[in-house]
Amino acid sequence: MYLIFALTNLNDTIMKKIIASLAFSMLMVIAAKADDRPVTFAQLPVAAQAFITEYYAADAISYATVDDDIILPDYTVVLVSGVRIQFENNGSLEKVEFKRQAVPDGLLPIQITDYVKAHYKDVTVQEYEVGRRSYEVRLSNGLELRFNRNFALVGIDD
């Protein structure tokens, strides 16, 4: 009873701080729950399974995880060869990273492959990322190239 009386007599500033602290605490609990958890190949979205089967049938999966974000989960698959693949919640490709090898030509859009071959001889693509409005590649020489949805080069970062 005393607690209710004490809370009703607090001024607005203190009350706002208490509510903000409680809200922040709840967000921290939610964020702590949004940890990566292991999944099997069969638990991946169908499109992700098809991608792995098409491009990496000969490579074994080291591990796969799902990141249960508050809004939409995403998936990460790491292959024994060191390839790291990230998929969106529907299984569409988000990013591929290679540690010890180049991105296979068949994986990249032909326009990007042709551009890299024409402008950067003796360089390989080590990372490929599909964004909502762009494509990005990281080359073995350290350059990062960004292309728009029409495959026009729109940015270079070194």
Residue pLDDT, tens place only, 94-152: 999 987 778 887 899 999 999 999 999 889 999 999 998 999 999 999 999 999 999 99
pTM score, whole prediction: 0.70
Largest CA-CA distance found in the chain, in angstroms, rounded: 78
**What is the structure's pLDDT at 24?**
44
Q: What is the pLDDT of residues 37-93, one digit of tens each?
A: 999 999 999 999 999 999 999 999 999 999 987 778 999 999 999 999 999 999 999
pLDDT of residue 129: 95
pLDDT value at residue 152: 95
For residue 29, the model assigns a pLDDT of 41
**Cα atoms in the Cβ-side hemisphere of radius 13 Å centred on 145:** 20
Q: Which pLDDT does position 139 carry in this prediction?
A: 94
Q: What are phi and psi of 142, to 5 degrees?
A: 95, -15
23 has a pLDDT exceeding 90: no
pLDDT of residue 34: 54
Closest CA to 114 of 82, 87, 143, 137: 137
